[in-house]
Structure 1
Amino acid sequence: MLLTDDELRMRDGADGEAVAAAMDLLIRYGDALGAERLVDTRNVAGTMTQPSPAKARLVAEGGWAKAYAVINLDCDRDIEIPRMKVPMCQLQHGFGDDAAGLTSYPPQLIQLQDDAESYFSERGVNILATCTPYQVGNLPVRNEHCAWMESSAVVYCNSVLGARTNCEGAASTGAAGLTGKIPYWGNHVPENRFATHVVDAGVPVDSFQEWGMFGYYVGEAVQEARPAITGAVGQPDLADLKHFGAATATSGGVELFHIPGLTPEAPTLDAAFGGRPAPEAIPYGEAERRWVYETLNAQGTSTDVDFVLLGCPHASLDQVARIAQLLEGRRIRGELWVMTPRALRTMADRNGYTRAIEAAGGRVLTDSCPAMSKAAPAGTRVFATDSAKQAHYLPAILGIEAWFGTLEECVDAAVTGRWRGGLA
């Protein structure tokens, strides 16, 4: 790759061993991708505090510097980790203290994570601990080059915000934080951001559930391509677009979508395709809608629900408020968890939403989710969720049955202990 004088200096050790290792990784990474150069970034979202048995072993051998070197820099030398060169945040990680004792999640991993937070916050990492960093302060601007992990965050960043990132990994984000560089390829390149497909909604997409089901179909239809959305779509809010993008990245590998007249890079369908002719549209009608619903509910056989999970991706404050309203004067059977960023949990506490949910027997938890931490309440056999992403992943991760439906149906299941949902 073509390197600038500053990049050569970093590679040759002018800023220390850790930065040199980071540059070496980025050069190897860029070469493998066919990138001709690196690009500056001042917005990195990665993962370094999330605990695991492998990370615990590395920490025991050489502390958090050793763990970061091996996992985030692909380096087996003993090196010191300096302060991050550019703003960097930690995405969601393992369960924290608020989930202690609720599952079989090992308490030693909670302690390990606490230690990691102290270490990395001292090195300039913002511990946002959420899959939705854009909800709690990390809000890149249009055309800003970012280096983000987490599929649902990446597709929101590219599509809704109009910033530019590929779906990065622990190593590339770890190196980007120390250098302020990332390979210039993929979604960073303007011509790679134009739409490749059209998916046309022939049925109304006008609710949280409908946006999730439509997104699941779009991802299945286009896989890793870039869809432009047309047809009978209503005005979405933040939660709808969050749910839609997460679903496209779950059933496919979508990192960028366009909704002409709504998303920033597509004022028109013509603009979404960069002036090139749009292909024939892929239809989404009643048959496709029913296929999605039946696919997401194919894991459910027993209608006895032990556990209801809400907030994937992490719930917005408006979503938490709505859950609190639906639970007013009611009592939950089994377990109901609402996952949200810790910063929004503080706001939910202040507004009385947490109190209302807890009064009904529910819990408002932060930092993680059952899929990320691979843990659910003891004895869970059947869970219900309004998240297409969790309905897709959690049965495979935990071996439990899933029901997918509306928020109202999920709250009803939490109160009655029975699944009574159905496709309207």
Structure 2
Amino acid sequence: MHLTKDEERILKGEYGEGTQKAMELLVAIGDAYDAEKMIPVSRAHAASSGQEGDLYFVELLANGGARCKVPTSTNPVYDIEYFHNLFDFIPKDEAEVARRVMEAYKRVGATLSWSCVPYLAENIPLYGETVAFSESSATPYVNSVIGARTNREAAQSALAAGVVGKTPKYGLLVKENRKGTHLVKVQTALKDEFDYTLLGYYVGKQIGYGTPVFTGVTRQPSTEELINFCAMSNVSGAISMFYIPGFTVEAQTVKEAFQGDAPQDKITVTSRELKRACEELQTTSGKIDFVMLGCPHYTLKQVKEVARLLEGKKIHDGVSFWVCTSATTKMLAERTGYVDIIERAGGHVVVDTCIDEPCWIAYKNKVGMTDSPKCAYYRRFKDVIVSRLQDCIEAAIKGK
């Protein structure tokens, strides 16, 4: 991969050891993908976690004096103060890893958003921007809904791009690589967020790695429906981009989405496929111990709906109820009274927190219910029921 004189100086360590380590990773990726050169990025999102694989690299860069050159937001870890006030059996060594991760991201000058949906508030790309976003919903959302350009980054490569301000030019940063691969014919009504959740899970599993192009979608999907599709298609598959011609921004026709090529394969989705996908996600039924919502982090609209469904009601004494969201969303939800309603019902609204963290160890041998196959996949608990939000609320009140 060709490097400019300035990039060569970074690689030699003239800008500090931490920035050098970031450049070494980017050059290795560029060489692996036969990239001809590096190109500037305007922003990045690192899918940080409170786990050791993330800790090693961010501390390596921080200890070497690296600082983010472009805005670089962060994925959730967990709200250490909140959870340690509630639970006294979170493993101390794992809690220390989480603390060190959060401190190291602060030292490299990242935007401490601790949210898996940064593209809604804290770090919003514009159409046509080149960025480096990791996180399962973020990559396809940024490529498809916003029309910016990003590869399917790892937490480490996204952070490295944020530090250097550049990334190798390969993959989805090249127009011809953004063409559709599979034609998906939707032959059922997609009524709500949960239908898009199931659509994402089913299509991801059928395609694996690819770029689906959808027909049969008859109305503009909502922000939440698109977020759910993006996240769940990367639970069962690896979908970094998709097209819904007429509704997503980059192609107005099927022909344009495929750049004139024929699809590699065709898939038909009816209500039967969505029903089977839902059935496949269940591992139990009956009594539940907790409800977990917000994977990906809930938007203000979703928190409002939880409050509406819980207003004047009480969560069952034997059920814990959790809503994960961003600090930005919780602040607005507090101002508008939604958090008060949920807390009066007996629920928790928590920020900065991912489902896949050691703070949930209290539920290791419990039965959970969620509206998210992604939450079910991480499953920091024994068994799971996956269903619509309304069903989750009803079960939280009844205990089953």
Q: TM-score range by the shorter chain?
A: over 0.9
2:231 match: 246
- Name the SS of the counterpart of 1:100 in structure 2: helix
Measured in 1, the distance between the counterparts of 2:120 and 2:12 equals 38
Which runs of no fewer than 5 residues in structure 2 stay unpaired? none
For 1:322, give the aligned amino acid. Answer: E
Q: CA deviation at 1:110?
A: 5.0
Stretch moving more, 307-316 or 6-15: 6-15
Aligned positions of 1:322-401 closer than 5 A: 322-333=305-316, 334-373=319-358, 375-378=360-363, 381-394=366-379, 398-401=380-383
Q: Does 1:90 align with 2:89?
A: no
Measured in 1, the distance between the counterparts of 2:52 and 2:195 equals 39
Aligned positions of 1:24-173 closer than 5 A: 24-47=24-47, 50-52=49-51, 68-69=59-60, 80-103=64-87, 104-106=89-91, 110=95, 113-114=98-99, 117-118=102-103, 120-173=105-158
Q: CA deviation at 1:233?
A: 4.4
2:396 to 414, 419, 423: 414
- Name the SS of the counterpart of 2:146 in structure 1: coil
Asked whether the equivalents of residues 199 and 228 of structure 1 are also in contact (C-alpha less than 8 Å), the reply is yes
Aligned positions of 1:197-212 closer than 5 A: 197-212=182-197
1:403 to 385, 388, 391: 385
Q: CA deviation at 1:387?
A: 1.1
Which runs of no fewer than 5 residues in structure 1 stay unpaired? 59-65, 74-78, 419-424
Q: Deviations over 1:147-190 (max 9, x none)?
A: 12211111211111111112212331232122111111111111
Measured in 2, the distance between the counterparts of 1:118 and 1:319 equals 30
Taking structure 1 as the reference length, what is the TM-score of the superposition? 0.87
RMSD over aligned Cα atoms = 2.3
Taking structure 2 as the reference length, what is the TM-score of the superposition? 0.92
- 1:219/1:270 CA distance change after superposition, 3 Å: same
Q: Does 1:189 align with 2:174?
A: yes
Stretch moving more, 167-176 or 122-131: 167-176
Asked whether the equivalents of residues 204 and 234 of structure 1 are also in contact (C-alpha less than 8 Å), the reply is no
Q: Deviations over 1:5-34 (max 9, x none)?
A: 221121223312222222222212211222
Asked whether the equivalents of residues 58 and 104 of structure 2 are also in contact (C-alpha less than 8 Å), the reply is no
Q: Deviations over 1:201-235 (max 9, x none)?
A: 11111211111111111111111100011114433
For 1:82, give the aligned amino acid. Answer: A
1:316 to 295, 299, 302: 299
Aligned positions of 1:12-23 closer than 5 A: 12-23=12-23
Q: CA deviation at 1:374?
A: 6.5
- Name the SS of the counterpart of 2:291 in structure 1: strand
- Name the SS of the counterpart of 2:111 in structure 1: strand
- 1:53/1:120 CA distance change after superposition, 3 Å: closer
Measured in 1, the distance between the counterparts of 2:11 and 2:263 equals 44
Measured in 2, the distance between the counterparts of 1:41 and 1:24 equals 17
- 1:24/1:239 CA distance change after superposition, 3 Å: same
- Name the SS of the counterpart of 1:220 in structure 2: helix
- Name the SS of the counterpart of 1:282 in structure 2: strand
Measured in 1, the distance between the counterparts of 2:170 and 2:294 equals 32
For 1:80, give the aligned amino acid. Answer: G
Q: CA deviation at 1:92?
A: 1.5
Asked whether the equivalents of residues 306 and 380 of structure 1 are also in contact (C-alpha less than 8 Å), the reply is no
- Name the SS of the counterpart of 2:356 in structure 1: helix
- Name the SS of the counterpart of 1:121 in structure 2: helix
